[in-house]
């Protein structure tokens, strides 16, 4: 099942916050993030609004600092397990910002970004892990993904997500079974 740009089963919500990857940059890294808007509130459309430049900065006091911010991710996994894709795989999503992984800078150039609805100090839902396992299986079948890192790993001191409650052992065990 070849996947060029869009993963089957993901709801598509196109974000314009993307651009072309540099020539010859293989997609070898997956970066895991967490996000909720406002912090700790789940459901709603604020994350999708942020990634599609429709977030009203006056809708909540915590949104004021997001005015004019242009960010995106390839994927969002809601707590229900719903998978949304914002950026085609071959495009560069704007998710990692200033980042370095194993001596390579600009992680957006060679990575896929996956946001988990949640906070950096909260547990994630079982449905999110199951969707992440299925997504990783599909991505690894079509991309040369070799590594998975936390946003906090590629931007240490600047970012803390997905946080200490992300269950890395569960992820690795799930990947071994899938």
pLDDT value at residue 21: 96
Model pLDDT for residues 22-66, shown as the tens digit of each residue: 998 899 999 999 999 999 999 999 999 999 999 999 999 999 999
Domain boundaries, the chain: 11-177
If you classify domain 11-177 with CATH, what class do you get?
Answer: alpha beta
Cβ-contact 45, 128 below 8 angstroms:
no
What's the pTM value of the predicted model, to 2 decimals? 0.96
pLDDT value at residue 175: 84
**Residues that are catalytic:** 115
pLDDT value at residue 4: 80
pLDDT value at residue 81: 98
* Full 3-state SS string of 94-127: CCCCCCEECCEECHHHHEEEEEEECCCCCCCCHH
Q: Whole-angstrom Cα distance, residue 17 to residue 80? A: 25
| Ranges under pLDDT 50 in the chain | 1-2
pLDDT value at residue 1: 36
Q: Whole-angstrom Cα distance, residue 32 to residue 133? A: 13
Cβ-contact 167, 122 below 8 angstroms:
no
3-state secondary structure of 44: coil
pLDDT value at residue 34: 98
3-state secondary structure of 134: helix
């Amino acid at each position: 099942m070849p996947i060029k740009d869009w993963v089957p089963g993901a709801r598509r919500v196109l974000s314009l916050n993307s651009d072309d990857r540099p020539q010859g940059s293989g997609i070898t890294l997956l970066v895991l993030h967490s996000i909720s808007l406002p912090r700790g509130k789940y459901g709603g459309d604020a994350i999708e609004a942020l990634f599609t430049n429709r977030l009203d900065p006056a809708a909540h006091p915590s949104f004021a600092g997001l005015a004019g911010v242009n960010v995106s991710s390839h994927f969002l996994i809601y707590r229900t397990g719903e998978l949304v894709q914002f950026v085609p795989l071959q495009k560069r999503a704007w998710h990692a910002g200033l980042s370095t992984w194993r001596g390579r800078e600009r992680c957006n150039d060679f990575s896929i970004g996956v946001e988990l609805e949640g906070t950096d100090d909260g547990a994630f839902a079982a449905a999110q892990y199951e969707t992440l396992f299925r997504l990783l299986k599909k991505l690894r079948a079509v991309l040369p993904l070799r590594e998975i890192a936390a946003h906090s790993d590629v931007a240490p001191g600047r970012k803390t997500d997905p946080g200490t409650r992300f269950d890395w052992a569960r992820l690795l065990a799930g990947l071994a079974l899938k």
